[in-house]
Amino acid sequence: MEETFHLDATDRRIVRALQRDASLSQAALAEKVGASPASVWRRVRNLEREGVLGATVRLVDPARVGRSVNVMCQVRMHRQTVDARGEFEAFIQAREEIVECYAMSGEWDYLLRIAVRDVADYDRFIRQGVLAHPSVANAASNFALRQVKYTTEIPV
């Protein structure tokens, strides 16, 4: 288990603010959290160095780029060897349609969130990709009807 990094009240305000809007200037961020720009700059750099803050990204509207169909796919493996899992996870990393992947406990080995154009696109992907992988025994898919909640913010 990874060691937890201690966040004081100012660090928490910085992290919350940046999770909501990573494009804030240092001055705007400092004003928002009630600290000096120099202090905020040092704290942000320290949070990055400690791995609390990761990459700065921009969120894309999937519908605007033709990827409006979200599929949750559960995968069961034939084999549970380190090599089989490694090969499957390398396959996962290489497929742009797979936007999230979780190794799971319980009945299924992996849970994938897949963003595709339409049902036909998913059918091609699942048959020629996931189900064609030699380590995969079977898969079950659920199509999201609508998004009720989506956030990238982690409570701090």
Based on the domain organization, do 103 and 137 belong to the same domain?
yes
Q: Read off the pLDDT of each residue in 127-142 and give the average, rounded to a whole number.
A: 97
pTM: 0.89
Domain that holds residue 130: 62-143
Residue 138 is which amino acid? N
Residue 137 is which amino acid? A
For the chain, what is the HEC assignment? CCCCCCCCHHHHHHHHHHHHCCCCCHHHHHHHHCCCHHHHHHHHHHHHHCCCCCCCCCCCCHHHHCCCEEEEEEEEECCCCHHHHHHHHHHHHHCCCEEEEEECCCCCCEEEEEEECCHHHHHHHHHHHHCCCCCEEEEEEEECCCCCCCCCCCCC
Please check the confidence at residue 147 and state whether its pLDDT lies above 80: yes
Q: Tens digit of pLDDT for each residue in 70-102?
A: 999 999 999 999 999 999 999 999 999 999 999
Q: Read off the pLDDT of each residue in 45-55 and give the average, rounded to a whole number.
A: 97
Please check the confidence at residue 6 and state whether its pLDDT lies above 70: yes
Per-residue model confidence (pLDDT) at position 1: 56
Per-residue model confidence (pLDDT) at position 52: 97
Based on the domain organization, do 31 and 75 belong to the same domain?
no
Please check the confidence at residue 63 and state whether its pLDDT lies above 70: yes
**Residue 66 is part of a domain; what is its CATH number?**
3.30.70.920
45 within domain boundaries: yes
Based on the domain organization, do 139 and 66 belong to the same domain?
yes
Please check the confidence at residue 60 and state whether its pLDDT lies above 70: yes
Mean pLDDT in the chain?
96
Based on the domain organization, do 119 and 66 belong to the same domain?
yes
Contact assessment for residue 77 and residue 86, using Cβ atoms and an 8 Å cutoff: no
Q: How many domains does the chain have?
A: 2
